[in-house]
Amino acid sequence: MQSGWRRAPLFVYFGAMAAPAMLLPAIVAYFADDHQTARPFLYGAILTGFAVAVLALTLMNRTPKVTARSHLLALIGTYLMLPLWLAVPLILVVPTLTPVVGYLEMVSALTTTGLPLIDPPGSVPQTVHLYRGVVGWLGGFMILLAAAAIMAPLNIGGFEIRSVIHGKQPGAGWAQIGAADASDRLIRTLAGLLPVYTGLTAVLFVLLALSGQDTFHAFMEAMSVMSTSGIRADDLYVGGSWLGEGIVAAFLIIAITSILYDPARWRAADSYSTDPELRLLLALIIIVPGLLFLRHWLATFDVEGGREDGFILGLQALWGAIFTTLSFIATFGQESRYWQTAQDWSGLPTPGIVLMGLMMIGGGVATTAGGMKLLRIYALYKHGSRELRRLTLPHSIGGSGQTARRIRTEGAFIAWIFVMLFLGGLSLLMLGLTFAGLSFEQSLMLGVTTLANTGPGYELLSADPVRVIDFDPTIQLILAAGMILGRVEALAFIALLNPDFWRR
């Protein structure tokens, strides 16, 4: 019996996540005496559990041919089809939402994009926000599972750079996916990741509650931070206080570097100082806020008289730049409470191009963050710095060991291919949005935020953003496609077009 359950397709396991996502809001609404809201979620949880059980029983005795294609198709199909089912109770609870908006909301949550659709947040019950947050949290866990159980053996999702670093061929993983049962690998990965992911969320929830936040908002904040979805139940500043903001910043670093998710890195704790992702992240947190602070400081340099609290405002502006930079690299997309202070201090508008660049960089490999990944950017940086050195010293030797040479050559080559695919996908997405009626600026902002899975950042890129819920359904469906493309990455879609890949 146990081996039969292990032969169930991957999308059955992914679909099983929908039942607890609906059950928790139903329980909360029931104890709040909001039975009208509780019923759709309760009935949805029951039907989901029943459908998943029947589907698993139907397919458990078959012996499918395990291929790389089946795993990628299961992952892509989950992002395409599961939001249709998840949107049903949401539309029943909030009848003002159209089916397309409900689908887009669930795609946004499942891909941890967190694109703001419900505006104002107080227009719907808090249970609806809880449902969005739970789906986003489960979506973050799903991408962690997919990264370890699907993308790592296939050498995609940033793992192709890690393979090069360790001396493996970029395509060496294509045959590994069929060597072991996918369900066994998924179950083993789940057993290792779930306690860590849940434990970190619980610790963050307790810390935020102790810092002064109420229970509900602390719980929502903890889920949105660990999944880097940025989904919140209000339009207030993140963290609830300056202390809560600092706690959120610390956990964002954990969430986007896979320090605690990868057991191999636990055993190599002494290598954190040489970890390329951590080094690049630290450099960005120092350089970008420093330049932003200098930009604000120069704008106030010629102000006569000054202010007595100028030093305090300067420190607040510096912290606001540090937190917002970290938030956008993590594809969390929320601004610091002192970000507006920095703008008021200098009188300068939001540097939208800088924020778009940060969200495109993204977080680490095998994390919930989107974007192009820190490791790929690091490989391009090492290659670029070596080429610049050769311009002045043509006969110099690169050195730094074999690993560094592999990063500068094969690693940079693969990273550059992905960057071109990412920019190509962004171009297609912008063309679609432009043909649908949006301006170039709107298409650029929405294209970057969806492809980098940084939905909350959309409202910060423009002084007067247009509400996504007011767009045409065609535009909303294009945005949903962009979120899925950004979450799965263009490299996976390109792999499905390879005839050799389908024959494996």
Pair 460, 333: CB distance under 8 Å:
yes
Q: What is the pLDDT of residues 4-13, one digit of tens each?
A: 556 667 788 8
CA dist 211 to 133, 248, 275, Å?
21, 11, 32
pLDDT at 414: 87
- How far is 249 from 237, CA to CA, in rounded Å? 13
pLDDT at 462: 79
Q: Which has the higher per-residue pLDDT, 23 or 123?
A: 23
- How far is 130 from 102, CA to CA, in rounded Å? 15
pLDDT at 272: 62
- How far is 492 from 153, CA to CA, in rounded Å? 13
- How far is 265 from 270, CA to CA, in rounded Å? 9
Pair 7, 183: CB distance under 8 Å:
yes
Does residue 390 surpass a pLDDT of 90? no
pLDDT at 120: 83
pLDDT at 430: 96
Q: Which has the higher per-residue pLDDT, 235 or 281?
A: 281
Q: What is the pLDDT of residues 197-255, one digit of tens each?
A: 999 999 999 999 999 899 999 999 999 999 999 999 888 888 888 899 999 999 999 99
Question: Cβ-count burial of 477 within 10 angstroms (0-12 exposed, 13-18 middle, 19+ buried)?
Answer: middle
Q: Which of the four pLDDT bands, split at 50, 70 and 90, describes residue 189?
A: confident
Q: Which of the four pLDDT bands, split at 50, 70 and 90, describes residue 64?
A: low
Which value, to the nearest 10 degrees, does the dihedral of the CA atoms of residues 466, 470, 473, 475 take? 0
Angle at CA 369, nearest 5°, toward 235 and 408?
A: 145
Q: Which of the four pLDDT bands, split at 50, 70 and 90, describes residue 178?
A: very low
Q: What is the pLDDT of residues 434-467, one digit of tens each?
A: 999 999 999 999 999 999 999 999 988 877 788 8
The residues, any chain, with a CB within 8 Å of residue 128's CB and separated by 6 or more, are 25, 37, 90, 93, 94, 118
- How far is 101 from 233, CA to CA, in rounded Å? 18
Q: Which of the four pLDDT bands, split at 50, 70 and 90, describes residue 257?
A: confident
What is the residue whose two structure tokens read 């953003």?
465
Does residue 413 surpass a pLDDT of 50? yes
Which value, to the nearest 10 degrees, does the dihedral of the CA atoms of residues 257, 81, 138, 104 take? 80
Does residue 318 surpass a pLDDT of 50? yes
- As a whole number, the mean pLDDT across the chain is 84
Other Cβ atoms closer than 10 A to 23: 18
Other Cβ atoms closer than 10 A to 31: 9
Domain-wise residue ranges, the chain:
2-269
Residues 108-132, mean pLDDT to the nearest whole number: 91
Pair 139, 112: CB distance under 8 Å:
yes
Pair 377, 361: CB distance under 8 Å:
yes
Q: Which of the four pLDDT bands, split at 50, 70 and 90, describes residue 398?
A: low
Does residue 427 surpass a pLDDT of 90? yes
Q: State what percent of residues in the chain have pLDDT above 90.
A: 46
